[in-house]
Structure 1
Amino acid sequence: MSIATLAQEIGRIARNDGDYQTAIPQLLMARRSGRTEPLACIYMLGLAVVAQGGKQVTMSDQVVNYGPGQSLLATVDLPVVSQVTQADLAQPFLGMLLTLDTRALVQLAADMELPPLPRDQAARGISLGPLEEPLLDAVIRLVRLLQEPQHIARLAPLIQQEIMVRLLTGPHGPYLRHLIAAGSPSHQVAQAIAWLKLNFSRDVLMDELAERAHMSPSTFRQHFRGLTGMSPLQYQKQLRLQEARQLMLTQALDASSTAARVGYESVSQFNREYSRQFGAPPQRDIRRMRELPGGGVVQSLS
């Protein structure tokens, strides 16, 4: 099967521009008929595939461009800026995201005889690699399963498990295994990231995060930046600003109320950092976001 087959299958479901949550909870699809504005969003642990068109993802100062025949794996939850760069009415952007379960990955890796990690293999928050034929075949079968809703509950977990096996043993494998290896620096940083995501509105001392990761502050900062491309404070700020944007979009809160909700004591500081992050003050940015497909609600494939 080919990448064109996957594009055809996604197109059956995503008939109009927008994001599509499917009957398989972990599977999201997207369609765009033209280039999009850069959009800040969170990439969760998962596999992203472009079946048609092209995309650019920016993580701090790292820029990744990818298209058909390539797969992108996010190994930790990351604030990124995402943009569709190749799409038109005749050849719309068609993509999909499959989020992965950390516990299932850990169990699979424990049951498999995987080779040792290369010593010079650094951890990475985003991995780009070829979409090899066995993995593509499994992805297509998962998407096609949506046409047989009566079989989804029994077959989807089996195909998802196959996809995870393919990822662990393919080009993305070393980066996944860095993440899930208990006691590894990447695993410890990932646990700190998970805690920070739940507590981003708190005034958190970075030394406290380092202690949670059982590292010295300097070692923690080094591994955190290596995995995410940013410092812990930059990561926390991006989480706050993206949550603020969503609150204003979905709950119609004003900037003052939103700033307090996400942990800012100064509204003027919030407005400055928001404008720097999103290119416009809150009120103007939210008006623009509401004009986007889907009403501007941030999705991981936008």
Structure 2
Amino acid sequence: MIKYESPKPSATPTTVEALARVIGRFAQSDGDHATVIPGLTLHRRKAPTAPLHCIYGVGLGVVVQGGKQVTLGEEVADYGPGQSMLTTIDLPVLAHIMHATTREPFLGMMLTLDMRLIMQIASELELSQPDKGSSCQPVTIEKLDGALGDALVRLVNLLDEPQVIPQLAPLIRHEITVRLLTGPHGAQLQHLVAAGSPSRQIAKAVAWLKQNFREPLHVDELAERARMSPSTFRQHFRAITGMSPLQFQKQLRLQEARQLMLNQNLDAGYAGGLVGYESASQFNREYSRLFGAPPQRDIKRMRLS
């Protein structure tokens, strides 16, 4: 499911070093740094981190120093300096920083992508339809293309000129989207925008689930929305996301409950009810299975770390 091999051409060391310098300049302390450029976050860590359950949306991640590991279902992928990771569908993943030190901290960035812009540019470029025999990979890791790397350097450097960000950031984001569609990641994006493709239909189902995960799950209704038979829908859903629709919904519910307890100091019973659980014992059991500890102990551990 996760692609490891990366075709040439790749970004030169100079491009990667330039991106590392500019990220390091704006992300000077440990953490995830939101920026005034919409959808752009910069990341820095001085030590490896524990695995963290999170949701990756449609976006581009780049590592320029250190190393990271991402687990989707049963698939595990490592990526490091000079590599880019594209996610083409909202996915619950397990991610952690593997390589980072005070002397050489982990440095990376994440850029959320605009699906409407991707579809618009794809239609303008008149790209060839993806091979019907090829499969969609919801997460792909490639060497950072040189031209794409240069555009990312220019985007981050705009943080030095906040007054021109509203005018120039959209232009550079447009270029980045063109580079993605025509570069090593292009085949996967084309799967996503191809009219009637299973990938696009499953992406719509995932988007609906993300908005309605509190509601009871009726797979037959989801399959009808995707214009597939229930069995075909289940097959494509698992092939693309690495899990069943029910497992996907559980992860969305449990991650939302975790954030409610962590950020709003809600107790486990109330948080479980808010995300759609009717049984407190079932919530506690499934929470412990996913996060490795009961809610109260897990939240205490999270706060201490």
- Aligned partners of 2:68 and 2:96 also within 8 Å: yes
- Between 1:39-48 and 1:120-129, the stretch displaced more is 120-129
- Aligned partners of 2:129 and 2:194 also within 8 Å: no
Alignment partner, residue 254 of structure 1: 267
Candidates 237, 251, 257, aligned match of 1:244: 257
Alignment partner, residue 84 of structure 2: 71
Q: Match of 2:228, SS?
A: coil
Which of structure 1's runs of 4+ aligned residues deviate more than 6 A?
A: none
Give the number of equivalent residue pairs.
Answer: 292
Alignment partner, residue 207 of structure 1: 220
Candidates 4, 27, 32, aligned match of 1:14: 27
Alignment partner, residue 288 of structure 1: 301
Candidates 213, 230, 252, aligned match of 1:217: 230
Candidates 126, 131, 134, aligned match of 1:121: 134
Alignment partner, residue 239 of structure 2: 226
- Cα shift at 1:118: 2.4
Q: Distance in 2 between matches of 1:148 and 1:121?
A: 43
Deviations, residues 228-279 of structure 1 (Å, cap 9, x unaligned): 1111111000000000001101111100001111111111111111111111
Relative to the length of structure 2, the TM-score reads 0.94
Q: Distance in 2 between matches of 1:166 and 1:121?
A: 21
Query: How is 1:1-302 mapped onto 2 (pairs within 5 angstroms)?
Result: 1-292=14-305
Superposed CA RMSD: 0.9
- Aligned partners of 1:121 and 1:174 also within 8 Å: no
Deviations, residues 212-232 of structure 1 (Å, cap 9, x unaligned): 101001111111111111111
Deviations, residues 26-83 of structure 1 (Å, cap 9, x unaligned): 1011111000000000000000001110000000101010001110000000000000
- Cα shift at 1:108: 0.3
Q: Distance in 2 between matches of 1:119 and 1:196?
A: 26
Q: Distance in 2 between matches of 1:202 and 1:85?
A: 36
Relative to the length of structure 1, the TM-score reads 0.95
Structure 1: gaps (5+ residues) = 293-302
Structure 2: gaps (5+ residues) = 1-13
Task: Among all aligned residue pairs of Structure 1 and Structure 2, give the percentage whose two residues are the same amino acid.
Answer: 60
- Cα shift at 1:124: 1.4
- Cα shift at 1:181: 1.6
Structure 1 residue identity aligned to 2:298: D
